[in-house]
Structure 1
């Protein structure tokens, strides 16, 4: 591989990691701020419970906007180039996140404050809708097939990296000032920090050229006028398969995040200091494990590794509540750590698998639309189920059962497509 090609690979790794880290940084940051700040600063006219519900519910506005962003990014990337799609998603996501950090609150501008917050959440959703898909496609198209699992897995590493970064920023800022200072103005600093991620990401993205695959499409005159229309018309099976492959990890990430598992461990008697350590060590472990399983997927087969991780994660979901009720604390902690290994195996190859399902002239449209379809059907419902399922279904088993069902769907999709070749003209 030439030095220029090697440099493009390295820069594509940086771009993928920064882009998806910004996505998940925004996600975890907004959830934390919703509970700690937004109900006080933007919805003071509501009861505390209603204010918290409203501010968290605004996250759903961003989730609903994501499929629209996925379609728009897919069209831009398949019609005009992967690089414009990368830059557009990064700027839109980072700018809207940063603007939340300077947004006047209700006591300054009244009802305009929550309305502007809703508008910024929608803009974030549009940017986030295409960010992961653009990162995955650039990673896939900048390297030869035998390295796609390892390089594309860096796009997946952004999830734990964003989680850790958001937790670290919120913790550091809140610990450095009084509670009143944090609620009044300190909460803005983590949002403004997103500008740093945008600047680094733009530096990296502007230094990579168009992918070789898209350059070949342009030279051959094979770009489509309406890629999304052709995708839905001629490749519905691939689109549904992509959504099915992604939905299991998406639901597992949402249902077993937000402290859901850690809350159960706390109830089971795990000390607070141990929980805090797990909160920090869990994303660190995933940051290390995901690239390793990406490398393993290149050697052993991406679908095979992903399927093994999916099955193991499904076993964890099925056995979670019995373990909480019957196992000792050391066994619970070990089971939790093993579940991280299983999740990493499932999650690491998914970017390469999903992006590889589609032919090159529709790849970004298929990747973004399929992934966001999984998010709309999976994680959007999961975000509400984690807080309301026990009341609706009168059992704490509802959330693990939902995760198990989604994982079974993903496992079935991987079995169906295990012999299918990657998209044409890769």
Structure 2
């Protein structure tokens, strides 16, 4: 068999498993923090602020990771473009696992005083650095190994991680809460999902250490040995593709807005504003995770047939419509309708995020692909994932929940506009060590 655009000798199942397992573990760790921040952190780490202010401070600590994610993209993107995808992914997994387990054993404010929330913030920042560096490598691991014509389908596997992780984190907290009394859950039970991360990281490391570097990167490494050292990946990425990075990030921002409103904000909104029992909201989160994974798989598969750009644009139109209609549905406070609203948020985001791994990988040249693709993705998480949940509470207080629909609609318009300015990439080779100064020129 002649080597061709992403083919590799390693079993494709092992590559798919490695990319899927890693992102699932990373995002499981990422999501359990958000769940704990909504349920227990105000009482454990911010009790001196009172109920309302403690809740605000706890949820604000979630956003610390979004600030850290671009730093993770820059740091691990540099390592991934210089040292290789595999080695860097081992580093990100270890950093995330150690940070998460440390949160699980961190004493509360009753023991450490003000040092407890400060340490918590530092550990959350490290989580953000880790997940910021994780996505680019996991996406490239899958896509650079993919057979011709199947970049979207293989890029699906790292993208299945967030949906699976959301369902898994909700299920874990639900099981712990149902098994323990409220006092035991608050005293020590909430720590169990964090400590479980040690086992999951061990599994992830075992899987990742058994794979080899991607053939596309090996070709790049061989080429570098024959010529003068390239510019630093971060400098190359922003020196040549700044506009492309920003447009790519804007194109997937609306998907993150819908997903994080569903995974972070809705848990708090449903249990406090709508007075839906907490176990019910966690059970809906399990369903939402399944729906997100299914929509992600559908979007990824469709992109191999119809093209990345077309599927992403269709998905952003869906996010626009879903964003506008979803909160009137949720505000009925009917459990079934709240579940439908959550699923709409997951469907809209999933269709776009399904092709994202292949699309962002194909937009950039191999020499700075890890850095540029990861930076695009994490710019989107700040714009779409970090900002809307923070704005939502103020918008609801001032204008009612319909204002959230308007905000999500604005995100939809932004992402559609950015997508219209990007090229189609389905037929592009990933064996591009060099690329034009601005890949938009290839549109």
> Given the two structures, how large is their TM-score scaled by the length of structure 2?
0.86
Gaps of 5+ in 2: 433-443
CA pair 306-116 structure 1, distance change in 2 beyond 3 A: same
Contact 2:16/2:157, CA 8 A, preserved across alignment: yes
Larger displacement relative to structure 2 (86-95 or 274-283)? 274-283
* Residue 253 of structure 2: aligned partner: 247
* Residue 88 to residue 284, structure 1, CA distance change in 2 (3 Å): same
Which one of the candidate residues 318, 323, 326 is aligned to 1:317?
323
Moved more, 80-89 or 303-312: 303-312
* Equivalent residue runs for 1:298-317 within 5 Å: 298-317=304-323
How far apart are residue 345 of structure 1 and its match?
2.2
Residue 258 of structure 1 is aligned with which of 264, 270, 280?
264
Superposition map of 1:161-172 within 5 A: 161-172=164-175
How far is the alpha carbon of 1:68 from its aligned partner? 0.7
1:366 to 367, 372, 392: 372
Unaligned 5+ runs, structure 1: none
Match of 1:394 in 2: 399
SS in structure 2 of the partner of residue 417 of structure 1 = coil
Q: State how many pairs are aligned.
A: 424
Given that residues 44 and 108 in structure 2 are in contact (C-alpha distance below 8 angstroms), is that contact kept between their aligned partners in structure 1?
Answer: yes
Change (3 A) 1:269 1:149: same
Picking from 401, 417, 421, the partner of 1:416 is: 421
Aligned-CA RMSD value: 3.0
**Cα pair distance change 1:324/1:46, threshold 3 Å:** closer
Partner of 1:40: 43
Q: Are 2:386 and 1:380 equivalent residues in the alignment?
A: yes
> C-alpha offsets along residues 108-132 of structure 1, whole Å, 9 cap, x if unaligned?
2222222211211111111111111
Matched, 1:13 2:16: yes
Residues 26/335 of structure 1: CA separation in 2 closer, same or farther (3 Å cut): closer
Cα shift at 1:340:
4.5
- CA gap of 1:61–1:324, structure 2 versus 1, over 3 A, is closer
TM-score, normalising length from structure 1?
A: 0.90
Partner of 1:279: 285
CA contact (8 A) 1:60 1:380 kept: yes
Classify the secondary structure of the residue corresponding to 1:193: helix
- 1:71, 1:365 within 8 Å by CA — same for their partners in 2? yes
Matched, 1:348 2:354: yes
Q: 1 CA distance for matches of 2:374 and 2:176? A: 34
Specify which of 53, 74, 77 is matched with residue 74 of structure 1: 77
* Structure 1 position 176 matched with structure 2 position 182: no
Q: What are the within-5 Å matches in structure 2 for residues 145-294 of structure 1?
A: 145-221=148-224, 224-258=230-264, 260=266, 278-294=284-300
SS of the residue aligned with 2:263?
coil
